[in-house]
A = this chain, B = another copy of it.
Amino acid sequence: MNNSIQSHSGQPLGNVALFVPAHGACGERSTIADLLHLMGADDLDVRTAPVIPVPMRRLHAGEGLFREGARAESIYFVRSGTFKIFRTAEDGYEQVLGFVGRAEVLGFDAVCSNGHPTEAVALEDSTVFALPVRDLFGFAETSPALGRVVHLAASNALTRQGELADVMAAVAAEVRLARFLLHLSQRMASCGQSPRRFVLRMSRRDIASYLGVAHETVSRSFTALAGWLMVKVDNRDVEIIDMTALRAFSRSTRRQLDEASRSCMPHPVAARAA
Contact = CB atoms under 8 A, between A and B. Distances in A.
Interface stretch (A110-118, A195-203, A219-227, A232-240): A110-118
Contact of A154 (B91, B95, B155, B168): B155
Interface string A117-139: 11000000000000000001100
Interface string A128-154: 000000001100110010011011111
Contacts of A254: 91, 93
A229 interface: no
Contact of A112 (B12, B161, B165, B251): B12
Chain A contact residues, majority secondary structure: helix
B164 A164 contact: yes
Contacts of A89: 251, 253
A87 B137 contact: no
A contact residues, range: 35 or more
A218 to B, nearest CB: 15
B158 A109 contact: yes
B164 A109 contact: no
A18 interface: no
A194 interface: no
A10 B136 CA distance: 20
B212 A91 contact: no
Interface string A21-51: 0000000000000000000000000000000
Interface string A75-117: 0000000000001011101010100000000001111111001
Given A111-B152, A162-B161, A169 B95 contact: yes
A159 B117 contact: yes
Nearest to A213: B171
B251 A152 contact: no
A6 interface: no
Nearest to A256: B91
